[in-house]
Amino acid sequence: MSGIVFHQQQVVFPSHHCKCCSVPRIKGERVGFPYLQHGYAASCPKFVKLSPHAVVSGSGGAQYSVQWLDARKKQKREKIAGIDQDELLDPLLLADADSCFCEFRGVQIHHKVYDAESQSNDAESQSNNSSQSHTISQVAHNSSWKLGLPMILLHGFGASVYSWSRVMKPLTEVTGSKVLAFDRPAFGLTSRVDASTYFSTGTNDAKPLNPYSLAFSVLATLHFIDFLASEKIVLVGHSAGSLVAVDSYFEAPECIEALILIAPAIFAPNAAQKPAEQDKAGRENQTEGEISNSNMLAKPFIKIFEILLKFITCITQAIVQMTKGMTDMLNLMYKRTLSAILRSAFGVMLIRVIIDKFGRAAVRSAWHDPNQATEHVLNGYTKPLRAKGWDKALAEFTAATLANAQSESKSPMSKRLSEISCPVLIITGDNDRIVPSWNAKRLSQAIPGSCLEVIKNCGHLPHEEKVDEFVSIVYKFLHGAFGDQKEPSLQGAVV
């Protein structure tokens, strides 16, 4: 019989005093459990107080055991970053009043759309946010010029549509068109699909694309371009979302009118070798050639030396190639092993521990002034932790990112940046502790004709920390690129 079973319903105290306290007892007195619960035991600190509804006899012991365990579970409810994990919900049940969902390749993608016409009649929403109202009146209403193209916003790692909530409405006034933001898979309120089940739905002819991969996010972006029924759009990416934005450009450059990269988490290559350094290297090579030509008497020895040097070089290159091959193989094995660990129960547990310990702290550190990351902001970022399967999805996303890094099917993005031909604006904060501003400066040098703006006293989230300044910069950039060229526009990239 399971549970707590008492062979008798009475307790006999063997002495005049309880052994754990000084409460007097009558020797040989039998005390029934109801009496024990409400009488003598109430004064004894080491007695477990029973529930008034518990039945402690025979098979009733099992019932008491279940009730006691349920009480223990309620006392130890698990929380991750302050979010209760015992009652996770379907993302659809967490949606806001203005949330929308659409299915793309078996994934329910959460998104929000704002347009200028609806926002002009939304006086109540503007009155609830004086900062947005001020931004719109100062930037957009001072000029009748509108871009007339929709805009798509791509959030960064760990963020969601929520991170754009302060600027979506002002940006509709800047563009004079629709502004759309969506949650990339593994983030926000987009559905968390089971990768193993998702892949099993594929046929032999076509294996489904990993929904947590970069390529899937790119295709989802192109899907929303079609959704907006526009030939061209302005694509905005923040942090890791900039990777999706640039990859989307390379996938369909004819659809992207302009790129706006905010605190872009794109590795920027070092600047090209300066002409003066190239001339110096050329002079050194020329000097070496003159010295070689002047030693005509030593020509036979030089010839032997050159043959020997070539032989040694070939051997060295062969060894290097073997070593590189072994290194690449070990690196590939390491990444595959790491991906397998991430997808395991241990990996999911590790994800939960990391998010619990550092999640809220990471949000605060993203701000120039951590005090601006109010409880309301933290709740906005941690709300997706209430969605079912968020931990497994985040583990799958991390594993897919590793798989994308080890893929060599495409040239590294850093080598393709010079191929971007559309207008590009790069915005960064001078106190970005996550992606340093110097990386943004390098990136602006690698992209021909790009504009760079550094916002002072700003961290990793210019569109949240400095709403007015951010919207003003975007307006000037777009107006300078596509509007009246007589009005001042942003200067070129800072060197």
| DSSP code per residue over 362-402 | HHHHTSSSGGGS-HHHHHHHHGGGGBTTHHHHHHHHHHHHH
- For residue 490, the model assigns a pLDDT of 45
The SS3 of residue 2 is coil
Q: 413-442: string of b/e by CB count within 10 Å (b at 16+)? A: eeeebeebebbbbbbbbebbebbbbebbbb
- 24-39 pLDDT, tens per residue? 444 444 444 444 444 4
Q: CA 165 to CA 99: how far, in whole Å?
A: 12
Residue 135, pLDDT above cutoff 50: no
- Spell out where 95-232 has E strands: 100-104, 107-114, 151-154, 179-182
- 310-365 pLDDT, tens per residue? 655 665 566 556 555 555 555 556 566 766 777 788 888 989 999 999 999 999 99
CATH 3.90.1640.10 is the classification of domain 80-119+139-269+347-483: no
Residue 192, pLDDT above cutoff 70: yes
Alpha helix positions (H), 140-213: 168-175, 195-200
Spell out the long-range contacts of 406-415 with Cβ–Cβ below 8 A and sequence spacing 24 or more: 406/331, 406/332, 406/335, 413/243, 413/246, 413/247, 413/266, 413/267, 414/266, 414/267, 414/268, 414/269, 414/446, 415/269
Residue 161, pLDDT above cutoff 70: yes
Ranked by mean pLDDT, the top range of 83-97, 120-134, 154-168, 290-304 is: 154-168
Instruction: Please compute, for residue 448, the number of CA atoms within 13 A of its CA located in the half-sphere on the CB side.
Output: 7
What are the CA-CA distances from residue 149 to residues 115, 172, 225, 230 (Å)?
11, 10, 11, 8
Query: Domain boundaries in the chain?
Result: 80-119+139-269+347-483
DSSP-assigned beta bridge partners for residue 101? 110
Q: CA 107 to CA 219: how far, in whole Å?
A: 12
| Entry pTM | 0.71
- For residue 37, the model assigns a pLDDT of 43
Assign 153 a pLDDT band (cuts: 50, 70, 90). Answer: very high
- For residue 440, the model assigns a pLDDT of 95
